[in-house]
Amino acid sequence: METVALSDISLTIYKGEFVAIMGPSGSGKSTLMHILGALDQPTSGKYILDGETVEKLTEDELADIRNRKIGFVFQAYNLLPRTTALDNVMLPMSYAGVSDQEQKDRALRFLELVGLQDRVHHSSNQLSGGQQQRVAIARALVMDPAILLADEATGNISSAQADEIMGIFQKLNDKGHTIIMITHEPDIAHFAKRIIYIKDGKIGEDILNKEQKKI
Amino acid sequence: MNIFKLIITSYRNLAVNKLRTGLAVLGIIIGIGSVIALVSLGQASQQAVQSQIQSLGSNLLTVSPGSQTSGGVRGAAGGRTTLTYDDAKAIESSSKITTVKQVSPVYSSRGQVIAGKSNTNTQIYGVTANYASVRQITLASGSFITARDVASNTKVAVLGPTVVDDLFDGNTNIIGQEIRISGQSFKIIGITSSKGGSGMTNQDDMIFVPLSTAQKQLFGVKYLSSIYLEAKSSDVMIRAQNQVGYLLLSRHKISSPASADFTIMSQQDILNTVSQVSGTFTALLSGVAAISLLVGGIGIMNIMLVTVTERTREIGLRKALGAKKKVIIMQFLIESVILTFTGGLIGIIFGVGGFYVYTKIASSTFVISLSSVFLAFAVSTGIGIIFGWYPARKAASLQPIEALRYE
Ligand SMILES: Nc1ncnc2c1ncn2[C@@H]1O[C@H](COP(=O)(O)OP(=O)(O)O)[C@@H](O)[C@H]1O
Ligand SMILES: [Mg+2]
């Protein structure tokens, strides 16, 4: 049986936007995010990323785009098992040919940014859900990506920590990075400048958030 | 991603499942180990046979009575009695024969030998004076049969060291003593140096007497059992074979070489036959060993496929974070090569060790050709690449999002 996860999606997101995507569970948010992150491709339709039609790119070109332009925080964190927080954060840099020393310096800086400086050498299965989520955020930020995609990135962490993460996102956005995050918490969505509601695979509402919350 | 890091990562991944990794490596250990051991064994036995045959004499041709269909029906004309002393004389004096340096006619038969209270049954060789130089026999003491001995049918004997052991308990101070061969008394004039060898090729278990004495006094025959020829050089062996062959054909009044009542073989012919037999045997053993290596390789492929399936999510994640196909292929190839290389290394140690133990037990020489060791390394690495290729390709072509969803 064929499941239709998304249909009739027509959406343009410009450079420098800060978008929150909201909607009930199973509405297709993650599927949309995977397409935006060049991880998945629509069965029909077209996705143009930074001027390039994604369907026409080779696998290796896509890998390169994911590596350099996109930072992805997965809903299920997806850390490498039996691997330290530090090594997990270093992973995307190892595919970009960054020198060992710089990999380490940068990974340590971003782990500190998400408040995990004292968990650097813990293996991923020794970390709590919230800690794993923060490692995943550090990993998404470490390549300084033009586009940051976060799928329920604050789902498992305290609201104080969530606010801190939002502060990081906003600072990044102020520097010109595009941020797209999925959340079902209205509180979190209000940190964004634009909120898109999805229901049953279709775009319901697409509104500008005039009262953006600032940290 | 540098190779060094990939190797460390692969090593860590393999260490997660130590038992499984160990069992997969075991297949390669057994394969490489048996290949090394059996190939070394084959090479060693071939070398041993070759050096033994070469020690029989250089540029040596052997003329034997009987047709060339050895093992089949012997030539009808006289069977084993077709070679005569006159044939040997003719070869020596013919102006048509330009490639033969020395001719040594021989009549040999078994005989009972008695010395005091000891007795033995050994091969009695009736020879001429140049037998020693044609067959490269040296004397430990005394002197060899002379032309004068042959001319005057003297009853003198030269003993091989095995015979000395059997009759005199190894006491070599026996020159001048008497022995009785087939009831007739012979004076010992020399003892040959040991040449080694065993069974049919044992050159130490024989007694030499003058050819004329053997033919007339001991055995009462007029024919020869063989004529040994020394060619002038190794380059003219075939020409010598032909020249002597045609001379004997015309002497025996036979028109077609196919119905010749004699056979001329060179050392090379004998060597070839023996090498062929032992080569076939080595190839057969190596084939069996190679099959076990193939099975080991399939085991590696199997383990790598399991690994790829187990780590589908990890592969998906790596690709999602920017790993290109080549990097994924490299990672899995390195894992399988680490498996087979380690297996090869341990296999070589076991194979060489096993062969060493064999040489100790069989008291043969321990020689390992470096090339076979390098070949084993190359083969084990190659097996890693060949059998790791398919699983690695499979891993690299996984779709990132499908792989991430995999449970
Ligand atoms: N691999 C898949 N195969 C089939 N259906 C899927 C798959 N992944 C998601 N879906 C379906 O697509 C729809 C959207 O899923 P998803 O994008 O994960 O929703 P959300 O993230 O909004 O909760 C759901 O109905 C889900 O069951
Ligand atoms: Mg989701």
Q: Which ligand is the nearest neighbour of the Cα of A36?
A: 1
Number of other CB atoms surrounding residue B134 within 10 Å: 23
- Give B73's pLDDT tier (boundaries 50, 70, 90): very low
Residue B72 has a pLDDT of 42
Mean pLDDT of B362-370: 81
Question: Which residues does chain A have within 8 Å of residue B319's beta carbon, measured at their own beta carbons?
Answer: 63
Regarding the beta carbon of A26 and ligand 1, being less than 6 Å apart is answered yes
Amino acid identity for residue B40 in this structure:
S
Nearest CA to ligand 1 atom 10: A5
Q: Is the pLDDT of residue B71 over 80?
A: no
Which of residues B249, B266, B283 is at a domain's end? B266
Regarding the beta carbon of A183 and ligand 1, being less than 6 Å apart is answered no
Using CA atoms, how far apart are residues B188 and B204, in angstroms rounded to an integer?
16
CATH classification at residue A140? 3.40.50.300
A37 lies in a domain?
yes
Of all residues in chain B, what percent carry a pLDDT higher than 90? 56
Mean pLDDT of B192-201: 68
Mean pLDDT of B276-297: 85
Predicted TM-score of the model (pTM) = 0.72
Q: Which ligand is the nearest neighbour of the Cα of A25?
A: 1
Min Cα distance A189 → chain B (Å) is: 26
Regarding the beta carbon of A25 and ligand 1, being less than 6 Å apart is answered yes
Question: Which residues does chain B have within 8 Å of residue A34's beta carbon, measured at their own beta carbons?
Answer: 401
User: Do residues B210 and B150 make contact, with C-beta atoms less than 8 angstroms apart?
Assistant: yes
Q: Is the pLDDT of residue B29 over 90?
A: yes
Amino acid identity for residue B283 in this structure:
A
Which of residues B219, B249, B266 is at a domain's end? B266
Closest CA to B348 of B379, B304, B386, B303: B379
Q: Is the pLDDT of residue B233 over 80?
A: yes
- Give B48's pLDDT tier (boundaries 50, 70, 90): confident
Same domain? For B37 and B66 the reply is: no
**Residue range A68-81, pLDDT digits in tens:** 999 999 988 899 98
Using CA atoms, how far apart are residues B9 and B4, in angstroms rounded to an integer?
9
CA of A28 relative to ligand 1 center, distance in Å? 6
Regarding the beta carbon of A3 and ligand 1, being less than 6 Å apart is answered yes
Using CB atoms, which residue from A34, A63, A139 is nearest to B324?
A: A63
User: Do residues A141 and A113 make contact, with C-beta atoms less than 8 angstroms apart?
Assistant: yes
Which of A27, A31, A203 should be mutated for ligand 1, with most atoms under 8 A from CB?
A: A31
Using CA atoms, how far apart are residues A165 and A158, in angstroms rounded to an integer?
10
Using CA atoms, how far apart are residues B73 and B138, in angstroms rounded to an integer?
38
* Mean confidence (pLDDT) of chain B: 88
A142 lies in a domain?
yes
Same domain? For B91 and B205 the reply is: yes
Mean pLDDT of A20-42: 94
Report helix, strand or coil for B83.
coil
Which of residues B266, B290, B325 is at a domain's end? B266
Q: Is the pLDDT of residue B407 over 80?
A: no
Q: Is the pLDDT of residue B55 over 80?
A: no
CA of A25 relative to ligand 2 center, distance in Å? 7
Regarding the beta carbon of A71 and ligand 1, being less than 6 Å apart is answered no
Q: Angle formed by the axes of helices B312-320 and B325-361, to 10°? A: 130
**Residue range B260-285, pLDDT digits in tens:** 889 898 877 777 777 788 788 888 88
CA of A88 relative to ligand 1 center, distance in Å? 27
Same domain? For B99 and B34 the reply is: no
Residue B383 has a pLDDT of 94
B12 touches chain A (CB under 8 A): yes
Regarding the beta carbon of A35 and ligand 1, being less than 6 Å apart is answered no
B window 284-343, beta carbon within 8 A of A:
313-314, 317-327
Phi-psi region of B377 (alpha: psi -120 to 50; beta: other; left: phi over 0): alpha
Number of other CB atoms surrounding residue A105 within 10 Å: 12
Specify the DSSP class assigned to residue A84: B
Computed on alpha carbons and rounded to an integer, the radius of gyration of chain B in Å comes to 33
Using CA atoms, how far apart are residues B27 and B384, in angstroms rounded to an integer?
12
Mean pLDDT of A27-48: 94
Using CA atoms, how far apart are residues A145 and A119, in angstroms rounded to an integer?
24
Min Cα distance B318 → chain A (Å) is: 8
**Which residue, among B321, B397, B402, would best test binding to A if mutated, counting the most A CBs under 10 Å from its CB?**
B321
Termini Cα distance of chain A: 46
Which residues share a beta bridge with A199? A202
**Residue range B117-143, pLDDT digits in tens:** 888 999 999 999 999 988 888 999 999
**Residue range A153-163, pLDDT digits in tens:** 888 888 888 99
Strand B178-181 and strand B139-142: the pairing is unpaired
Please give the tally of structural domains in chain A.
1
A5 lies in a domain?
no
- Enclosing domain of residue A45: 18-208
B7 touches chain A (CB under 8 A): no
Specify the DSSP class assigned to residue B232: S
Q: At a CB cut-off of 8 Å and minimum separation 6, what does B135 contact?
A: B56, B57, B60, B104, B203, B228
Regarding the beta carbon of A27 and ligand 1, being less than 6 Å apart is answered yes
Closest CA to B358 of B41, B14, B11, B16: B41
Same domain? For B253 and B332 the reply is: no
Min Cα distance B336 → chain A (Å) is: 20
- Enclosing domain of residue B248: 60-266
Q: Is the pLDDT of residue B254 over 50?
A: yes
Q: Determine which of A11-20, B99-108, B196-205 has the lowest per-residue pLDDT on average.
A: B196-205
- Give B75's pLDDT tier (boundaries 50, 70, 90): very low
Same domain? For B262 and B379 the reply is: no
Q: Is the pLDDT of residue A213 over 90?
A: no
A39 lies in a domain?
yes
- Give B51's pLDDT tier (boundaries 50, 70, 90): confident
In three state form, how does the secondary structure of B257-289 look?
HHHCCEEEEEHHHHHHHHHHHHHHHHHHHHHHH
Q: Which ligand is the nearest neighbour of the Cα of A29?
A: 1
Using CB atoms, which residue from B5, B322, B401 is nearest to A40?
A: B401
Q: Is the pLDDT of residue B144 over 90?
A: yes
Q: Is the pLDDT of residue B200 over 60?
A: no
Q: Name which residue leads in pLDDT, B155 or B255.
A: B155
**Residue range A172-209, pLDDT digits in tens:** 999 999 999 999 899 999 999 999 999 999 999 999 99
Min Cα distance B325 → chain A (Å) is: 7
CA of B393 relative to ligand 1 center, distance in Å? 28
**Residue range B328-356, pLDDT digits in tens:** 999 999 999 999 999 999 999 999 999 99
Of all residues in chain A, what percent carry a pLDDT higher than 90? 86
A97 lies in a domain?
yes
Please give the tally of structural domains in chain B.
2
Mean pLDDT of A104-110: 97
Which residues share a beta bridge with A46? none
Mean pLDDT of A22-31: 94
A3 lies in a domain?
no
Same domain? For B92 and B207 the reply is: yes
Q: Name which residue leads in pLDDT, A154 or B364.
A: A154
User: Do residues B124 and B218 make contact, with C-beta atoms less than 8 angstroms apart?
Assistant: yes
Mean pLDDT of A135-141: 95
Mean pLDDT of B358-379: 86
The angle formed by the CA atoms of residues B237, B239 and B240, to the nearest 5 degrees, is 65
